[in-house]
Amino acid sequence: MNKRKRLSPKSSKPKRSMLKTKYKTGERMLMKGNEALAEGAVRAGCRFFAGYPITPQNEIPEYLSWRLFEVGGTFIQAESEISAINMLFGASAVGARVMTSSSGCGISLKQEGISYMTAAELPCFYASVVRGGPGLGNISPAQSDYFQSTRGGAQGDYRVICLAPNSVQEMGNFPKLAYDLADKYRNPAMVLADGLLGQMMEPMGFTFDFIDVDKLPPKDYILTGCKNRKRRIINTLRMDSDRLEKFNWKLYEKYKRIKENEVRYEERYTDDADIIIVAYGTAARVSIDTLVRGREEGIKIGLIRPITLWPFPRKIINELASRVENFLVVEMSIGQLIEDVQLAVEGKAKIHFHGRPGGNVPTGEEVLKAVKQALK
Amino acid sequence: MQKIFKKPQSMTKIPMRYCPGCGHAIVHRLIAEVIDEFDIKERTIGIAPVGCAVFLDEYLNCDMIQVAHGRCPAAATGMKRVRPDVIVFSYQGDGDLAAIGTAETIHAATRGENFTVIFINNAIYGMTGGQQAPTTMPKQKTTTSVYGRDPKIHGYPIKVCEMLSALDGPVYLERVALNKAANVLRAKRALKKAFRIQLDGLGFSLVEILSPCPTGWGLTPRKACEYVDEKMISYYPLGVYKDLTQKKPT
Ligand SMILES: Cc1ncc(C[n+]2csc(CCOP(=O)(O)OP(=O)(O)O)c2C)c(N)n1
Ligand code: SF4
């Protein structure tokens, strides 16, 4: 057979000259949350993205569709979210830093693939830019996918590291953190944002340098063809129940290490607080406004903002519950985060709730009212 | 004494656990022979499906991965785009490829991804115990169509090569069968051509193999081969459905 023109799409190899840094580290600019996340991922070494359009995260694939080609990576608009996550499965298995993004319904479809990646111990990074649910819901910002993100909806004893930004700055920074954690623990890691964080523009600047993917530590488990080494197998079927039990305990140990080492949270004015608001993401942004307003009026409000939703900052909340009588959980849902707060508080304090589901964002004033109500 | 027939190097020593007369074992060997003949064991990644061939990774002596039911073409796409120089093949049954994974199959084909699909059409779900497959033929009995497939109730089967040949993306589509020695040799030629196409970077190739499942069909191995001959080949005609290597590229 004659050699002839390639008929298939050709994957471009990264050329040095193509590795455009684009933005200088520390350079301040106005950026949209979704685009900051996308550029942050590219800077952090993302070279493979597959996804399927869904509002309110479309700016992510739109941005990456041209940006990844500039750095010699691959962008694929897949036929479904199921296909997209399985493309990541393959791309991660051969060693790339991979990414997908979606919202509610799409993340639901990716769950099976995410479970497979935990079972294969393959790293991956994905972002969920939450919209209102259940069902088709709406396209407004919500936090009703907290359970979906921190519990997962797919099969098996697995966990996903979950980071919750509350600013465009963090949207830009967290992909790197997610990739580093995913690689370190060989487990998927995600960013949980919402429609507001995805769509809003804010000044930000990348705080880390553009990463040279060739200089990342080599992975000794990826498939490359078995030249000069023993063959490798990636398989999630463990038919023998003793073998599967052993693997599950291995995951247990890994998740224990993550819980011990990777908890992140922001703490404000907890020292003298009479009430502590627990909120993440957009609800935390709003609650900071409440905190300022309340303190002006002499109400001693403190704030715990979980940054890692899993592993959850359980210890600090538990400690605070020994000396603070009231907690107020603020979230844009009918109450999901509150269950983790209840587990952390262990009945030592009163837990109040202010929720705004359905795509509505609470105001600082509204939350202040809830604070006053709680302190009555 | 000269050895004239031996195990291909690309096979492991692990004994296969397939039923007697099962087509999977034959195809595994053919793949190993092709890998040996091209001397590409060290740059090949095979993808095992969910189905009876989920154990493929034990039998082939190269880098292997097993993926979720139906999603081999998506995973293959990811691997091939990141590492265009590795040789990737996916190995899939009819439930995997033409039911749960139909979308992945069609879209990988239409994108013209440069990997090879080996499609085992045994007209039944072997692993789960003989349920109706998307390729189960009219009148064929299965455990979920006990009186035989009735198109009025169960709909018609999918003819994969015919369907994919309507797309612009695939480069090579051929249907072969395993019912007799001459056809097994033809099957090997088809596999070799499919791998050649990938090695040359030309694009998507798929070989559909009509394959006996004596257990699922409730037949002896010999009767199962006759069933392929008498029933399957007439419904699923053998031959090349698309071959762009014969034409000038446009
Ligand atoms: C999502 C999902 N659904 C169902 C199954 C159960 N399942 C395992 S194998 C199989 C059918 C396999 O049939 P086929 O692809 O024709 O391969 P064969 O066993 O006949 O070789 C099914 C439905 C599964 N593993 N995953
Ligand atoms: S059930 Fe059918 S396909 Fe599966 S091993 Fe047995 S003969 Fe082969």
Q: What is the pLDDT of residue A19?
A: 57
Residue B237 counted as domain residue: yes
Residue B155 counted as domain residue: yes
Residue A10 has pLDDT above 90, yes or no: no
A1-5, A51-55, B50-54: the lowest-pLDDT one: A1-5
What is the tens place of the pLDDT at every residue in A155-192?
A: 999 999 999 999 999 999 999 999 999 999 999 999 99
Average the pLDDT over A146-158 and give the result: 94
Average the pLDDT over A98-112 and give the result: 97
Residue type, B216: G
Cβ atoms within 10 Å, residue A269: 15
A94–B contact, CB cutoff 8 A: yes
The beta strands (E) that lie in A106-160 are given as 124-130
Return the ligand number nearest the Cα of A237: 1
Q: What is the pLDDT of residue B247?
A: 67
Q: B180 has which bridge partners?
A: none
Residue B78 belongs to a domain with what CATH number? Answer: 3.40.50.970
Q: What residue ranges define each of the domains in chain A, with the CATH number in brackets?
A: 19-203 (3.40.50.970), 266-374 (3.40.50.920)
Residue B88 counted as domain residue: yes
CB contact under 8 Å between B200 and A3, yes or no, is yes
What is the tens place of the pLDDT at every residue in B62-109?
A: 999 999 999 999 999 999 999 999 999 999 999 999 999 999 999 999
How close is the Cα of A246 to the center of ligand 1, in Å? 25
Q: Is A353 helix (H, G, I), strand (E, B) or coil?
A: strand
**pLDDT, chain A, mean:** 94
- DSSP-assigned states of every residue in A295-322: HHTT--EEEEEESEEES--HHHHHHHHT
What is the band of A153 on the pLDDT scale with cuts at 50, 70, 90?
confident
The residue whose two tokens read 């059409």 is B121
Strands B44-48, A350-355: parallel, antiparallel or unpaired by DSSP? unpaired
Residue B15 counted as domain residue: no
Q: Would you state the structure tokens that stand for residue A94, as one six-digit string?
A: 């051969």
Chain B neighbors of A7, CB-CB under 8 A = 112, 171, 202-203, 244, 249
Percent share of chain B, pLDDT over 70: 98
Residue type, B136: T
Give me the residues of B, 13-42, that contact A with CB < 8 A: 41-42
Give how many domains chain B has, as a whole number: 1
Q: Is B63 helix (H, G, I), strand (E, B) or coil?
A: strand
The residue whose two tokens read 């994974």 is B101
What is the band of A315 on the pLDDT scale with cuts at 50, 70, 90?
very high
Residue B228 counted as domain residue: yes
- DSSP-assigned states of every residue in A225-250: --TTS---EE-----SHHHHHHHHHH
CB B233 less than 6 A from any atom of ligand 2: no
H or E element: which one contains A59? helix A59-70
Q: Which residues of A2-21 are buried (b: 16+ CB within 10 A; e: fewer)?
A: eeeeebbbebeeeeeeebee
Separation CA A145–CA A164 (nearest Å): 12
What is the tens place of the pLDDT at every residue in A223-269?
A: 999 999 999 999 999 999 999 999 999 999 999 999 999 999 999 99
Kindly report the CA angle at A324 between A318 and A325, in degrees rounded to 5?
A: 105
CB contact under 8 Å between B112 and A8, yes or no, is yes
Q: Would you state the structure tokens that stand for residue A44, as one six-digit string?
A: 């952090």
Separation CA B103–CA A79 (nearest Å): 7
Contacts of A298 (CB under 8 A, 6+ apart): none
Helix axes A33-43, A59-70, angle to 10 degrees: 30
Contact (CB, 8 A) for A17 and A60:
no
A6–B contact, CB cutoff 8 A: yes
How close is the Cα of B28 to the center of ligand 2, in Å? 13
Residue A11 has pLDDT above 50, yes or no: no
The CA–CA distances, whole Å, from A179 to A122, A198, A224, A318, B236 equal 11, 19, 21, 29, 48
Domain of B119 in residue numbering reads as: 24-243
What is the tens place of the pLDDT at every residue in B188-208?
A: 999 999 999 999 999 999 999
Backbone phi and psi for residue A44, each to the nearest 5 degrees, phi listed first: -85, 0
